[in-house]
Structure 1
Amino acid sequence: MHSFSLNQWALDFQGNLERILTSISIAKSKGATLRVGPELEIPGYGCLDHFLEGDTVLHSWEVLAKILASEEAMGILCDIGMPVVHKNVIYNCRVIIYDRKILLIRPKMWLANDGNYRELRYFTPWVKHRQWEDHYLPRIIQTITRQVKVPFGDVLVSTQDTCIGIELCEELFTPSSPHILMGLDGAEIFTNSSGSHHELRKLYRRVELIKEATLKLGGVYLYANQQGCDGDRLYYDGCALIAINGKVIAQGSQFSLNDVEVVTATIDIEDVRAHRAKSSRSMQAAQSERYHRVEVPFALSGGKFEEVKFDDIAGVSPTQGPEVKYHTPEEEIAFGPACWLWDYLRRSRTQGYFLPLSGGIDSCATAVIAHSMCRIVAEAARRGDKQVIADARRIVGESEDSGYLPSDPKEFAGRIFHTCYMGTENSSVETRRRAKQLAEAVGSYHTDLNMDTLVSSVVSLFSFVTGAKPRFRAHGGSNAENLALQNIQARLRMVLAYLFAQLLPWVRGGNGGLLVLGSANVDESLRGYFTKYDCSSADINPIGGISKSDLKRFIAYARDAFDLPILTEFLEAVPTAELEPITETYVQADEADMGMTYDELSVFGRLRKVEKCGPYSMFTKLVHEWGSLLSPTQIAEKVKHFFFEYARNRHKMTTITPAYHAESYSPDDNRFDLRPFLYPARFPWQFRKIDEVAAALPDRSQHASKDKTE
């Protein structure tokens, strides 16, 4: 049996077809009798509103016609994903084919419709459980299959030796999953075709659900997933799995540059039958409702028992043995955004990346992720990965027969990764030096400039027009003047970033342009602690969904794993924007400016998004969590300050750079976090209630302080 991870691309029908056919060929070459691919693999999962276009459905049928007519698809049972219009209703479907026949079209019954997913916007769930209807095929398919109509609905597939039930992604995550009733009615093998994105620490939940699906029930579970950047801010992390009777027996890689990856296991179906030989399970099965079965004159088994085996496909080995491989969050940050950057670069047809490198930890983390991308590319090139080598040669401007190999990550970075330190009179010697040393360590093409004349020219123009000259607070200016002078520097950096990104390839004798990388973390975005249209306004942002706390742990990991000792200095430096003058009594610091720590911001973010707290409920939760350290009044002030700053800066989310999604509390406003951007920022009703309750609650923090002193 073979379960696949495919790097499909939304609307890339030609490329998606080629990858599907390749996966089927690999499966057959390994002796497979059942091939399962990811969700909506023909058009790509991330088509979004394109699913509402007739073209998308038409081209999906055209691709399926080529698969049906191919020699690759002969002699193997294939589970393939595409949208299907049935009685003028669009469904997210699996199409089961065998020997130029469509056996069944199985529509999805439970749709993902929260967080990053809006499937109900495009598709309708199939609500006629354990029921089916005739679906009349388009003529392009009839010509190949010689079928006029096929079953459409919640149906099982019976082979000569077993019975197969089909699930689609979200259906595994529902409380009453279809596999339960299918298994009680005799289905022994379950397929799940998924489009599940990467999020830090998420894989464990997915694996546990797959194991649990067959632990009580018994059975074989084949999980296939989308892999790579499908054309949006999500990264689908593959990790195809095969489990039997609650135990994972094969696992694919979670982060890979491969376009096609296969996970293989040979199982003994008698193990399932032995596992199910329990009286209580049999009593429930005996009274279960019946599913209609579509019969296929084909046997999945080639004989009696064979040992479980693992295959090495395209240089990637599934995990050896039964232990599931989990990456640490630090490793997930190192590999997930790096693979996403590579997909984005090769598919955008640009010549590399440009990063404003400030000498602070956020742009440092972005640079290290780009370095990790170069390391992953170099490793794939050393393995002889033809697709990676071909993409790398095209990006750097080398011909296909040049012999160039991107096998040295620093050399490759010097061609495609560009960094620039944009200093002003407010910049320190330390940040300039750190930026230069980091660029040398990762091998980027680095430039260094001072932009004081540009800043002073803009200020002079304003003074000439208005007759007023703004001053920093340190020089006697107001808060409005101080903020405006900071924002001028930040926004001019964005202008320079795009100028350099467009012209640096030309300066170096090349063609095309560069994508600008942003480096604002999820906590700064949540708090609105950045300038609208500053250098965080970029093309894409690999750290925009990662918390400051996780970024620090990632930098500590990368220092040792990537042999970058310079990263110690970034970890020890106080985070600062360096937009105000440094005086004997004042040095600008991020956490002081924000009025809260980054750790506190992470807590606020999770309570606001994941636990769905408004101001009052957040206050009541934090009274219990922080009450031993802070008084109710202090907690109230922190909560009110957070919501005030969050609300008054919410409008910035409408311009935020598309960012790699990694955190469950991403503040992105138009995909993941659907909240308004114009608020009553002082929340008069909510804040008044917080104040009333805070004044009435006992102060537990004083007792904790006394206990410590005693």
Structure 2
Amino acid sequence: MKHGFVKVAAGTPAVTVADCAANAERIAALMERAAADGVRLLALPELCLTGYTCADLFLQESLLGACERQLLRLAQASAGLPLITVVGAPLLWRGKLYNCAAVLYGGEILGVVPKSHLPNYGEFYERRHFTPAPDAVSAIRLGGRDCPFGANLLFRCAELPEFCFGVELCEDLWVPNPPSARQAEAGASVIVNCSASDETVGKAAYRRQLVKSQSARLVCAYLYADAGEGESTTDLVFSGHDIIAENGAILAEAAPFEQGYCVSEIDVMRLAGERRRMTTFAAGSEDGGRVVSFSMEPTDTALTRPVSKTPFLPEGEAERAERCREILSMQAHALKKRLDHTRAKSAVIGISGGLDSCLALLVSVRAMDLLGRPRADVLAVTMPCFGTTGRTRDNAVELCRRLGVSLREIDIKTSVYRHFEDIGHDLTKLDVTYENAQARERTQVLMDLANQTSGLVIGTGDLSELALGWATYNGDHMSMYGVNASIPKTLVRHMVATFALDADDEGLRAVLDDILDTPVSPELLPAADGEISQKTEHLVGPYELHDFFLYYAVRWGFSPRKVLRLAEYAFAGSYAADEILSWLRVFYRRFFAQQFKRSCLPDGPKVGSVALSPRGDWRMPSDASAALWLSELDEIGG
């Protein structure tokens, strides 16, 4: 439970219809299994203590008496287990029968939640036997003690208040205004659904989408436990389709007619952070009902949930390619609007033979295509200087030729030498002045060419460079429109690769492939034997790590400890723990120190969930201290 991770499970025990003792045995075995798996919250199906398909047997005193006895037996069994179990059972209250979910923990029944919406259509006739939940929270007497009873119950962990769950039953989810919506507004970060949803053609896909969507709408984790093996097949069939979802993503699933058990870790701190960020998510409501508190000692939770090394990219190859095409279209349409609005006669781009300028050029070409204008209206400018290699220069020229854009080559060495002479800089001193003078000279050339051609300078810098401040202030940091401003480096690479994959021109595909194989470099230091001597990732660290850090530190606001833990988990076998820690320190130092560059960025389109525009997603003082974040890492590093 540390860092907000809580291991949860949804399970489907096999049932014998109307045999409560046998069902309790199987439920107890599943509780033992879940406890052994480290589960802290286990969801079980609707009416699983009796079987959902008992029909008029629900009106038999013998069945109801046996059910209560076995429920109390399961409550006693929970005393020696470090998990909460939510189990479905029919229970009597004030002379009426209710379809309930009982919450068991520590040898007690913490509370009982009756079903609010009883289906009485199609194959369902629950109103024949059951009564809808009452409006108010009351008490139900079980085993000689009163237990909270009502649809508006919340169960909250005293040691981790963000771990707070509500319960609804089957049909409650399928109605226009589910109880879970009220529970989430009242503070529930987790919703448990005890269900007995029969299987019909196409229903599994709909059920999966419903659970996934509800978890997204409520910014919650959703545990859906479905009835399965052993239910009567007189008229229906049940598949044990169990699902664990979190904020719009399915974390684990037991496919229909398979094992009927799935486990994952939910992140309640992540959910709490997202709710804080969303100003439209309602504040805790006093109408949410009664809170039942329980105590559960926080322990380390072993992670098994998927944590991608590339959080800005979908996992599947086809989905990844489609995402790249979508983003390229978004960039191109944004630039189309800017070119059209300003009546720019050209789009001026500094082309280096590297990935970022390549993507910006592809975007500019697509924008001109959308405008119905000739690609020659894109003016690509290659400006070789001290570090330019033949490989990058040739790739830049060939790329422009294949795309059909205008190309100018302007060697800036003489201009930079003159500048060094003007400011009295020693040519043998290969310091930051030596490097940045080249970047600023290139920007000056581009700006003046834009004036000459009544055009706009198109920025090439990406999101990863902006996060690290890996840009020359008033050099490549500046443009008139930054099309790559919210594209992280790991995504840039895949976007260029997707464009290459889609290209009909084999020559264009070949040059794009070679650009993809070229080491990332600003090429500001002299080449060594014709090869790039200055490799960015050797200096600031691997971009795949920095993009990972950026996503979790900025998008989710995680603490450095939690970012480190996730990185160690995701990159296990790729980087040593001390290496990840070292580059994470670099990330935080640079991210804080370089905010002043982000405070005056040119316009550029947001295309993903993370952006650093000072006018949009990210507002941060340029002189904020990183001490708090670095001290947390120092404690880890000893």
> What interval of TM-score do these two structures reach, taking the shorter chain for normalisation?
0.3 to 0.5
TM-score of the superposition, structure 2-length normalised? 0.48
TM-score of the superposition, structure 1-length normalised? 0.43
Larger of the two Rg values belongs to structure: 2
